[in-house]
Structure 1
Amino acid sequence: MILADFIVFNANGLYCPYGDFYLDAKLPVNQSVISHAHGDHAVGGSTNVYCTAPTAAFMLLRNGKTAAKVFHHIAFNQAFVIGGVSITFISAGHILGSAQVLMVYQGIRYLYTGDYKVQPDDTCEPIEWAKADVLITETTFAHPQTQHPDAVTEIKKLNGIKTNILLGAYALGKSQRLIKLINQHCPQKKILVHHKIMPLNAIYEKFGFALGNYQMYGRKLMKQQNEFVYLVPPFTFESYFKATGVKRLFASGWKNLQTNEQDTLFISDHVDWNDILQCVEHTQPTQIWTLHGDGAHLKQHFAGTIEVKLLK
């Protein structure tokens, strides 16, 4: 029997009372199972953190000694138990080390996706699929009219821009994917990287994901017109709003983050509507619980066939 309260929200985040642990806790807790290292999922300070080795490495880089009292490094497809709940990490394809969390309790399989991606990405482990009775999915872009374009087609737009480019992107995950894509499909471009992105690149390469050619940003280099692409995190991108002699682009799946209508770069690391439907087809759940967005369209789409519950 599916337990309607198998996971619930409280002040600390998404809680599993049957195992006494949190999924991507919002505040420091005793036991936190972390899907991936983005800041809205990986909060430092918990006593016991269960995650993949790359996620731990990113958290240690960003939080140092306060990242966790104890890290429990868990490999993909290696079951472990917390409080009577059997847990297995399954690759989510979102960023390096990102995991879906399969929880089995009293014979019922609950799959928490975290953030996940179906599109190919050479800078992280590809998504894997698992059957589940309950699919607990993010719904960031769960709208029938939302379909992410092909990332290769988008990155090739840079080939038509002959001036230097100031390219904004999230430092972890998106930046590394962009470096790899530019090297593969825009080889004449010279990639300059902001200093805050460089240590993250080093972790990718430590875990065997080579990104290709890039170098640290130098002010003198960007004064030249030589098809440079200067990759910067969001705060730096915003602070350079008056930059001259460059084309400003921000790589994202969000329309409101595009800087102009003429030159857009829609590259998302989340699932779109069709991707979520593909996930449902693979997991074959009897119930879908939705998070992080609007699950109303899924509820309408599956009305009469699959029960859809909007958790938040």
Structure 2
Amino acid sequence: MILDDFLKFDANGLYCRYADFYLDPQQPVKTAVISHAHADHAVSGNATVYATPATIAFMQLRYGKSAGRELYTAAYNAPFTIGEVQITFISAGHMPGSAQVLMDYKGIQYLYTGDYKLQPDDTCEPIEWVQANVLITESTFADPATQHPDPVQEIKKLADVKSNILLGAYGIGKSQRLIRMINDHAPQKQILVHHKVMPINAVYQRFGFELGPHQMYSRKLMKEQSEYVYIVPPFTFDSYIRATGVRRFFASGWKKLQVNQQDTLFISDHADWNDILEAIKQVKPQQIWTLHGDGRHLKEHFKDSIVVKILN
């Protein structure tokens, strides 16, 4: 029997009381199961952390000793238990080490997706599919009006720009994907990287993900017009609002983060509406629970066939 209260939100985040752990807690807790290393899913200060090896490595880079007092790693498809719940990490295709969390309790499978994407990405493991009784899916872009364009066609926009480019992107995950895509699809560009992104790139290389040629930014280089693409985190991008001699792009699936109508770069690391429908097709759940977004469109879409519960 599916337990309606198997997962519940409280002040610390998404809690499983049947084994006393949190999934991607928002505040430090005693026991945390972390789906991936982005800061909105992986906070510092937890006592015990379970995650994939890559996720632990990124957390240690960012948080040092505060990554967790006890750190337990599990490879994909290698079950472990917390209390009476068996947990298995399944690749989510979002960034290196990103995992869906399959939880089996008394013969019922609950699959928490974390953040996931279906688009091909050579800088992380591809998504895998498993079936479950309950699919707990992120719903960041769960809107029929949202369909992500082909990322290769998006990145080729940069090839047509002959001036230097200031490219804003999140430092972990998106920046590395962009470096690889630019090298693959606009190889005439010379890639410069913000100094805070370089240590993250080293973790990628340690886990076998090659990004291709790039170098540390220098002010001297950017004074030349030599088709440089300077990839910077959001805070640096925002501080360069008056930068001259460059075209400004920001890589995101969100329209609100695009610089203007001319210079858009719609590259997302999340599932769009069609991708979520594909996930539901693959997982074959009896129930869908939504979080991290707006589940109302899914609730309406499946009103005659599948129970949809909005957790947040």
User: TM-score over 0.5 for the alignment?
Assistant: yes
Q: How many residues align?
A: 312
Q: Which residue of 1 aligns with 2:63?
A: 63
The answer to whether structure 1 residue 198 and structure 2 residue 192 are counterparts is no
What is the alpha-carbon distance in structure 2 between the residues aligned to residue 193 and residue 125 of structure 1?
23
1:37-81 deviation per Cα after TM superposition (whole angstroms, max 9, x unaligned): 000000111111000011111111111111100110110000000
Q: 1:85 is matched by which residue type in structure 2?
A: V
Q: Which residue of 1 aligns with 2:113?
A: 113
Q: 2:16 is matched by which residue type in structure 1?
A: C
Instruction: Give SS of 2:47's match.
Output: strand
Q: Which residue of 2 aligns with 1:103?
A: 103
Q: 1:158 is matched by which residue type in structure 2?
A: L
Q: 2:253 is matched by which residue type in structure 1?
A: G
Offset at residue 263 of structure 1 (A): 1.4
Instruction: Give SS of 1:159's match.
Output: helix
What is the alpha-carbon distance in structure 2 between the residues aligned to residue 6 and residue 83 of structure 1?
14
* Equivalent runs, 1:102-181 vs 2, <5 Å: 102-181=102-181
Offset at residue 28 of structure 1 (A): 1.0
What is the alpha-carbon distance in structure 2 between the residues aligned to residue 210 and residue 304 of structure 1?
46
1:275-298 deviation per Cα after TM superposition (whole angstroms, max 9, x unaligned): 000000000000000001100000
Instruction: Give SS of 1:54's match.
Output: helix
1:130-164 deviation per Cα after TM superposition (whole angstroms, max 9, x unaligned): 00100000000000010000110100001110000
Q: Which runs of 5+ in 2 are unaligned?
A: none
* Equivalent runs, 1:42-81 vs 2, <5 Å: 42-81=42-81
What is the alpha-carbon distance in structure 1 between the residues aligned to residue 11 and residue 292 of structure 2?
16
What is the alpha-carbon distance in structure 2 between the residues aligned to residue 260 and residue 23 of structure 1?
37
Q: Which residue of 2 aligns with 1:229?
A: 229
The answer to whether structure 1 residue 254 and structure 2 residue 238 are counterparts is no
What is the alpha-carbon distance in structure 2 between the residues aligned to residue 38 and residue 263 of structure 1?
26
1:167-191 deviation per Cα after TM superposition (whole angstroms, max 9, x unaligned): 0000000000000000000000000
What is the alpha-carbon distance in structure 2 between the residues aligned to residue 261 and residue 210 of structure 1?
32
What is the alpha-carbon distance in structure 2 between the residues aligned to residue 292 and residue 207 of structure 1?
28
Offset at residue 302 of structure 1 (A): 0.4
Offset at residue 304 of structure 1 (A): 1.3
Q: 1:110 is matched by which residue type in structure 2?
A: Y
Q: 1:206 is matched by which residue type in structure 2?
A: R
What is the alpha-carbon distance in structure 2 between the residues aligned to residue 197 and residue 238 of structure 1?
16
**What value does the CA root-mean-square deviation take over the aligned residues?**
0.4
Q: 1:223 is matched by which residue type in structure 2?
A: K
What is the alpha-carbon distance in structure 1 between the residues aligned to residue 156 and residue 270 of structure 2?
20
What is the alpha-carbon distance in structure 2 between the residues aligned to residue 97 and residue 150 of structure 1?
24
What is the alpha-carbon distance in structure 2 between the residues aligned to residue 284 and residue 66 of structure 1?
39
What is the alpha-carbon distance in structure 2 between the residues aligned to residue 167 and residue 248 of structure 1?
6
Q: 2:199 is matched by which residue type in structure 1?
A: P
1:75-122 deviation per Cα after TM superposition (whole angstroms, max 9, x unaligned): 000000001000000000001110000000010000000000000000
Offset at residue 27 of structure 1 (A): 1.0
What is the alpha-carbon distance in structure 1 between the residues aligned to residue 263 and residue 57 of structure 2?
35
Instruction: Give SS of 2:292's match.
Output: strand
Q: 1:276 is matched by which residue type in structure 2?
A: I
What is the alpha-carbon distance in structure 1 between the residues aligned to residue 248 and residue 184 of structure 2?
21
Q: Which residue of 2 aligns with 1:282?
A: 282
Instruction: Give SS of 2:147's match.
Output: coil
Q: 1:310 is matched by which residue type in structure 2?
A: I
Q: Which residue of 2 aligns with 1:8?
A: 8
Q: 1:87 is matched by which residue type in structure 2?
A: I
What is the alpha-carbon distance in structure 2 between the residues aligned to residue 288 and residue 26 of structure 1?
22
Instruction: Give SS of 2:69's match.
Output: strand
Offset at residue 239 of structure 1 (A): 0.1
What is the alpha-carbon distance in structure 2 between the residues aligned to residue 150 and residue 184 of structure 1?
15
Instruction: Give SS of 1:46's match.
Output: coil
1:206-239 deviation per Cα after TM superposition (whole angstroms, max 9, x unaligned): 0000000000001000000000000000000000
Instruction: Give SS of 1:247's match.
Output: strand
Q: Which residue of 2 aligns with 1:308?
A: 308
